[in-house]
Amino acid sequence: MKRKIIISPSMLACDFGKAAQQMQKTESAGSEYIHLDVMDGHFVPNISFGAPVIKSLRRYSSQVFDVHLMISHPLRYIDDFADAGADLITFHIESDSPVEETIEKIRSKGIKVCLSLKPATPAEAVFPYLDKLDMVLVMTVEPGFGGQKFMSEMTDKIKLIKEEIDKRSLDTDIQVDGGINEETIKLAAGAGANVFVAGSAVFKATDTAAIIAELKKNAGEAYLNVYTHRS
């Protein structure tokens, strides 16, 4: 089944001194989501920002707030991120929180739920939860830092998850995160991803509207290429 192509610029790559303006620039440039990477220095080696920063950004944008929790105990903080204005919360299957309970907690807040897999975690790990999710995030770098190289071997994992989603006739999105640019987006979209996080590619570009348009175009073409001959 075909899905809408969505670009989610990652604020990790922005100039935080001008965060609100930079976020608004991506919105007027045509992106639907804004990706907010929360890191605790424990689940990943880096520390970024938490709920108070997200809450203060909230009033400057009506984009979907796509909050990616790279933290060891996501369940403990769902209330905080819900209150901060998250529209979608992603947590990691490798975290220390019980998966089902965390999914239910996020759902009880009226927030969309996404489960993420680190590169070493196999596709099948997410299958037991697939029916309960709005989105699956396939990490295409080791989480923790922006500006890393896209791991092209992750395309097999994307394909396996996409096949399972289609087999069960679900309308689950597949998001990819890490090293996405004008070229790598084609590989991810070709494999079946339709939501694309892009940090460096968007914020290091001189023309924000042009890069977002190009990412969307390349993803749309690659996605169609794979799925027209299959159906």
Return the range that interacts with Zn ion (CB under 5 A); candidates 20-28, 146-154, 171-179, 211-219.
171-179
Using CB under 6 A, which residues numbered 85 to 124 contact ligand DX5? none
- Mark whether 37 is an active-site residue: yes
Q: How would you label 150-167 residue by residue, b for 16+ Cβ within 10 Å and e otherwise?
A: bbeebbebbbbbbebbee
Minimum Å gap between C-beta 168 and Zn ion is: 26
Q: Does an H or E element contain 203, and which?
A: helix 200-203
CB contact at 8 A, 32 and 63: yes
- 146 is in the binding site of which of Zn ion, ligand DX5, none (Cβ under 5 to 8 A by kind)? ligand DX5
Report the residue from 5, 13, 23, 37 that binds Zn ion according to the rule CB under 5 A: 37
> Which stretches of 60-179 are DSSP H helices?
78-84, 99-108, 155-167
Q: In this complex, which beta carbon is closest to ligand DX5, that of residue 12 or of residue 133?
A: 12
Site string for ligand DX5, 49-78 (x = CB under 6 A): -------------------x----------
Q: Give the whole-angstrom CA distance, residue 7 versus residue 14.
A: 15
# chain residues binding ligand DX5, by CB under 6 A: 22
Q: Is 180 in the site for ligand DX5 (CB under 6 A)?
A: yes
Is residue 174 classed as helix, strand or coil in its secondary structure? strand
Q: In this complex, which beta carbon is closest to Zn ion, that of residue 128 or of residue 147?
A: 147
Using CB under 6 A, which residues numbered 193 to 212 contact ligand DX5? 197-201
CA distances (Å), 153 to each of 157, 158, 173, 212, in order? 8, 10, 20, 25
- Provide the token pair at 14: 């922005």
Interface ranges with ligand DX5 (CB under 6 A): 10, 12-13, 35, 37, 68, 141, 143-148, 177-180, 197-201
Residues labelled as active-site residues = 37, 177
